[in-house]
Amino acid sequence: MWRAPLDGATKKREHSLSASVSPKSPSIVWFRRDLRLADNPALQAALHWGAAVIPVFILDEAREMRAPGGAARWWLEQSLSALSADLAARGSRLVLRRGEARQVLGELARETGAGAVFWNRLYDPGVVERDKAVKAALRSAGLMAESFKSYLLVEPWELRTKTGGIYSVFTPFWRAARPLAAVAAGSVEAQAGVRAPSTLPAPATFPRSDILSDWRLHPKIATWTSGFQDWRPGEAGALKRLDAFSQTALGAYKDDRDHPNRPGTSRLSPHLHWGEISPATVWRAAERAHAAGDGVDTFLSELGWREFNHHLLFHRPDLPTSNFRSQFDAFPWRSAPDDLERWRRGMTGYPLVDAGMRELWSTGFMHNRVRMVAASFLIKHLLIDWRHGEAWFWDTLLDASPASNVLNWQWVAGSGADAAPFFRIFNPVAQGERFDPDGRYITRWVPEISRLGSAFVHAPQAAPAAALAAAGVRLGETYPRPMVDHDAARQRALAAFRSLRSDP
DNA sequence: TGAAATGTTGGGGCG
DNA sequence: ACGCCCCAACATTTC
């Protein structure tokens, strides 16, 4: 029995009866953002189909779907390489094709005589419509086409408020979704397909494949990604990371996750985004590691935000460009390209913001606490539209996903669902003193002020001239002065927000 | 998953 | 002993 809670067995039998092809024909597993072999329902379905399995990844660059950013393309190349090796080690191989998915799958089915195509569902704008069209086309061509739940624990249509609406506040969402998520992660079906198969039945000949390096997925700026090397894309790296996290950091997660200099977060987000590990596997590991303790609950609720963001984006596919709260449509954003560029490059003069932006550029990642401060700075101190910040993060974050990136930016801006109120304006100096008291995170990324010591490293502009001289810091030369004064910027942001409310 | 302004309280110095 | 002031510490309100 395939594991797919929503697809009843009856429905499936009808499909296999209606299929005009022999069950001995091979099946295609269409890999997308599920680049793993363990706990992969589409792969399980293909194995159940009982014939040769043809794994394929399609680079579909149709405009309806948002193209991955530069950092994400780097990850994708690494991850495809790892999946390819994992398949080869099991007597199989990954077929790479480029083009429109519907057309490519049709061609592949004709070339190989495949009778079925299996994949795991995604929920992003554009992808949903594309996949529906693919499924209809394959079925009308007489193939079996089935998709499965695995990217989320609770699919967006599984959950509605009592009045039939979508959840727009996290707490009631999670109250309703968490029990469903626990069942999905711990169900008998979920446990059954957890292990990666040791071999995959291969066809007599594999269809032609593109060469991965020909896709040129790695960014043109070769020096950019040199700092990404600490990451280990691929299923093995994901499992190792999960293991390390659940053994060491999970217990103290609730407090440690806010301190950017501590190894307190899971750093699983890129692995989850590319589906190198399933949320169900992560869930089970967290529950196993510490049966009690609020570290686990806090961590699971982060998986909950992932679910919540996908829930919202599925029901509101306009959110990548529209404010969830439409009163923000009238917000008086500044057009300030030079300011935006200083923020991107980590030259704002606020050490915590600069450290975060430089960490992002160097490593393809930014600690979550710092993401909030850096995003708040762009939106509220500089009054720059959140969409500009979202675009930069989209291009530079290894874990950028349409749902999480967009909705987290809207959350910070105050324009989102259950968002932080606009007037929650982070003080970047106070945040640094609170969460990086000795300044070690800051000086790791902003070394030019490292000799200021913890007393002044959070606000060099407030240091006495003697301290600056002793530390070799010349403001405006070796490190920028603050590009805006905090108090003035705060008042300006509050005034802008007030203008919103007084408008008719 | 804030910060700043404003309000309240209570201890201690002092006339 | 008492009231007064100061101010830190904490609580509440406002943005």
Domains, chain A, in order of start with CATH, read 9-149 (3.40.50.620), 152-191+225-317 (1.25.40.80), 326-502 (1.10.579.10)
pTM: 0.94
Please tell me the distance from the alpha carbon of residue A354 to that of residue A459, in angstroms, as a whole number. Answer: 12
Q: What's the pLDDT score for residue A19?
A: 46
CA of residue A78 to C1' of nucleotide C2, angstroms: 80
Q: What's the pLDDT score for residue A190?
A: 72
Please tell me the distance from the alpha carbon of residue A54 to that of residue A233, in angstroms, as a whole number. Answer: 22
CA of residue A258 to C1' of nucleotide B11, angstroms: 36
Please tell me the distance from the alpha carbon of residue A332 to that of residue A312, in angstroms, as a whole number. Answer: 26
Q: Is residue A138 within 8 Å of A130, Cβ to Cβ?
A: no
Q: Is residue A279 within 8 Å of A185, Cβ to Cβ?
A: yes
Calculate helix-pair angle for A368-376, A386-396, nearest 10 degrees.
140
Of A112, A116, A99, nearest in space to A46 by CA:
A116
Q: Is residue A320 within 8 Å of A359, Cβ to Cβ?
A: no
Nearest nucleotide by C1' position to the A491 CA atom:
C15
A485 phi, psi to nearest 5 deg: -80, 135
Collapsing DSSP states into helix, strand and coil, what is residue A28?
A: strand
Nearest nucleotide by C1' position to the A408 CA atom:
B1
Q: Which candidate in A158, A333, A427, A433 is catalytic?
A: A333
A498 CB below 7 A from strand B atoms: no
Nearest nucleotide by C1' position to the A498 CA atom:
C15
Q: How is A150-184 classified by DSSP, letter by letter? A: -S-SS-GGG---TTS----SHHHHHHHHHHHHHHH
Distance set, CA A237 to CA A85, A269, A361 (Å): 13, 12, 22
A490 CB below 7 A from strand B atoms: yes
Residue with tokens 């194995």: A47
Residue with tokens 């995959």: A200
A421 CB below 7 A from strand C atoms: yes
CA of residue A502 to C1' of nucleotide C3, angstroms: 49
Q: Which candidate in A235, A302, A359, A390 is catalytic?
A: A302
Q: Which candidate in A189, A215, A287, A368 is catalytic?
A: A368
Q: Which candidate in A74, A305, A392, A445 is catalytic?
A: A305
> How would you write the pLDDT of chain A (504 residues) with one tens digit per residue?
333 333 333 344 334 434 445 558 999 999 999 999 999 999 999 999 999 999 999 999 999 999 999 999 999 999 999 999 999 999 999 999 999 999 999 999 999 999 999 999 999 999 999 999 999 999 999 999 999 999 999 999 999 999 999 999 999 999 999 999 999 998 877 777 789 999 999 999 999 999 999 999 999 888 999 999 999 999 999 999 999 999 999 999 999 999 999 999 999 999 999 999 999 999 999 998 865 567 899 999 999 999 999 999 999 999 999 999 999 999 999 999 999 999 999 999 999 999 999 999 999 999 999 999 999 999 999 999 999 999 999 999 999 999 999 999 999 999 999 999 999 999 999 999 999 999 999 999 999 999 999 989 999 999 999 999 999 999 999 999 999 999 999 999 999 999 987 543
CA of residue A463 to C1' of nucleotide C6, angstroms: 30
Furthest CA-CA distance within chain A: 84
Please tell me the distance from the alpha carbon of residue A72 to that of residue A26, in angstroms, as a whole number. Answer: 32
Nearest nucleotide by C1' position to the A420 CA atom:
B1
Of A366, A145, A392, nearest in space to A260 by CA:
A366
Length of chain A as a residue count? 504
